[in-house]
Structure 1
Amino acid sequence: MNIQYPARERLANLPTPLHPLRRITELFSTPFGGPQVWIKRDDLTESAMSGNKLRKLEFIIAEARTRGCNTLITCGGEQSNHCRATALAAARVGMKSHLILRGGHELATEYLPDGNLLVDYLAGARVSLYPLKEYLSRLPQLFEEWTDHYRTQGDRALCIPTGGSDGLGIWGYVQCAEELFKECREQGFFPDRLVCASGSGGTQAGLTLGCQLLGVDTQVTGYAVCDSEAYFVSKIQEDIQHWAEKYAQTFPFDAQRISVNDKYIGPGYGMATEEIYQSIALAAQLEGILLDPVYTGKAFHGLLQDIEQGRYAGCRHVVFVHTGGQFGIFPQRAGFKASWAEQSVDRL
């Protein structure tokens, strides 16, 4: 199928690399067999704007220009990769950005911002922090209030949902799917499975839709980092339905092909276990790949566990889509102590 894309603002360094993880593959070979694990390096879409959100923002910012908007309003947690990418992308194209963030300890007067939140401020974003209860109960109203605020100042704002995940942002990973299969053909293999972290659902929705639009049988599996399998199945269908309505698409999407694994969320969103921290360290030590404890670390840990348990025994090639998020490592530095403390002492 020849996919017709809407307007796009070129911001990312594409295509991102695709290469095998040979040491990881060797280490996790089992009596059941096991696939060659590959990695799609969407953490390299750009240096500071890095990650999966930039692909979505290319289409979102083009839409903002079409509507005559000069301000981007979006939302997320205090360490939102999407909000950080939005702040930097807005700065790059000469737009204002306003981030509605759910607060925690950063509301304390002496808190020093770290990780993504620090970058938000450096990028010149206006940051509004709200306690979790208010954020959850009033988010639609907060978008309305700040949109009205900018309107009174003569500005026009585009409101972007959590993670940029809707029928507009979905184009970013439809395009990624097309790019990825071209790279696979060039390297002489066909992927049996694509794997990604699912936090707001948009990346998995785009990859899943993209596979079907391209007419390939590859299964996309999202490892949930929050919420349940049922939630993500519903959210992905909702995003694809929004896409179909917004762009007058009649493509017969097969919802039965949505695959979500919610067994590796750990204690909750933004919280990792010691095993997840160890998997992140393993990827760094064996492959020089940096994952994060909120998204990619959980998904990669889940993938490795499932390979070890024989759940990918029928697959020859699995591609892990690295969606970025490295700024999220630094606020959780204490979790990695077991991975570096002993080595640090040895160097003294």
Structure 2
Amino acid sequence: MAAAALGGLRPGEVAPPAVQPPCASDEGAGRIGAGRVIARPYVIPGGGSNPIGALGYVGCGLEIMQQAYELGLNVDAVFHGTGSAGTQAGLVAAFEGAQSGIPVEGISVRAPEAPQVANVLKLANEAAALLGLSTRIEAPAVRVDDRHVGAGYGQPTPGMIEAVTLLARKEGILLDPVYSGKGMAGLIAQVREGRYRPGQSIVFVHTGGSAALFGYRSVF
């Protein structure tokens, strides 16, 4: 109905500079695929992780702060699984922009700590700039725990299996094996290590994806 055409890239192929986002005008015209011309292309990065995409989790961060205020709850940390960086970048931008003091604990599902911190930091500052915030986010605001990646992205770990099974049996909550499963494994590990104590308030952001469990039947 909208006369829109979808173009794809082969695995490992990088879009030409002409079609890298943002492409909001005719000057962004380029070619994708077998010579097809896209007049006004918009390239969606992996995970939707660009400054505009990160705004979704800026909204999530604002909602967390609003609900915590209404409940009279002091949030000591927010945990989640961090991959393409957009989720963590949005949360960090929200909490830092509001000067909330709430730390975001990103449990990496694929990248080592240093490059993940760099990716999140860059994207968080870009999202903050898009919102017109004067806040400059610094590296200490980006926490990444890369001990739960295991053999790689989407590869099961004992901690993930334990976390998914525990939440299903104790709370009736289905985590996914790629993101939230490893995110919860990281939360459990840090509690066991004494980084967080009984009585503290921790928010876990469940990013969905539990349908992926059907692809891991041999594990569960």
Cα deviation, residue 267, structure 1: 1.2
Bigger radius of gyration among the two: 1
1:177·1:207 contact (CA, 8 Å) conserved in 2? Answer: yes
Q: Which of 187, 201, 209 does residue 317 from structure 1 map onto? A: 201
SS of match in other structure, 1:266: coil
1:150·1:157 contact (CA, 8 Å) conserved in 2? Answer: no
* Gap change, CA 1:244 and 1:190, over 3 Å in 2: closer
Query: Which of the pair has the greater relative contact order for Cα pairs under 8 Å at 6+ separation?
Result: 1
CA-based RMSD: 2.4
* Gap change, CA 1:252 and 1:331, over 3 Å in 2: same
Instruction: Give deviations 1:234-268, integer Å, cap 9, x for gaps.
Output: 10122134335555543222332111000111111
Instruction: Give deviations 1:136-187, integer Å, cap 9, x for gaps.
Output: 2x22249664276252xxx643111111111111111111111111111222
What is the match of residue 267 of structure 1? 151
2:148·2:157 contact (CA, 8 Å) conserved in 1? Answer: no
What is the match of residue 169 of structure 2? 285
Cα deviation, residue 278, structure 1: 2.5
What is the match of residue 229 of structure 1? 113
Mark the runs of 5 or more structure 2 residues left unpaired by the alignment: 20-29
Q: Percent identity between the aligned chains? A: 32
1:211·1:217 contact (CA, 8 Å) conserved in 2? Answer: yes
Instruction: Give deviations 1:91-139, integer Å, cap 9, x for gaps.
Output: xxxxx65565xxxxxxxxxxxxxxxxxxxxxxxxxxxxx4xxxx22x22
Residue 317 of structure 1 aligns with an amino acid whose one-letter code is: S
* Gap change, CA 1:285 and 1:251, over 3 Å in 2: same
* Gap change, CA 1:248 and 1:208, over 3 Å in 2: closer
Cα deviation, residue 331, structure 1: 1.1
1:70·1:157 contact (CA, 8 Å) conserved in 2? Answer: no
Q: Which of 27, 36, 42 does residue 158 from structure 1 map onto? A: 42
Mark the runs of 5 or more structure 1 residues left unpaired by the alignment: 1-68, 72-95, 101-129, 337-348
Q: Which of 143, 146, 152 does residue 32 from structure 2 map onto? A: 146
Q: Which of 162, 171, 179 does residue 55 from structure 2 map onto? A: 171
Q: Which of 213, 216, 219 does residue 332 from structure 1 map onto? A: 216
SS of match in other structure, 1:139: coil
Cα deviation, residue 232, structure 1: 1.1
SS of match in other structure, 1:159: coil
Structure 1 CA distance for aligned equivalents of residues 91 and 63 of structure 2? 11
Answer 1 or 2: which has greater strand percent: 1
1:280·1:290 contact (CA, 8 Å) conserved in 2? Answer: yes
Instruction: Give deviations 1:63-114, integer Å, cap 9, x for gaps.
Output: xxxxxx864xxxxxxxxxxxxxxxxxxxxxxxx65565xxxxxxxxxxxxxx
Question: TM-score normalised to the size of structure 2?
Answer: 0.84
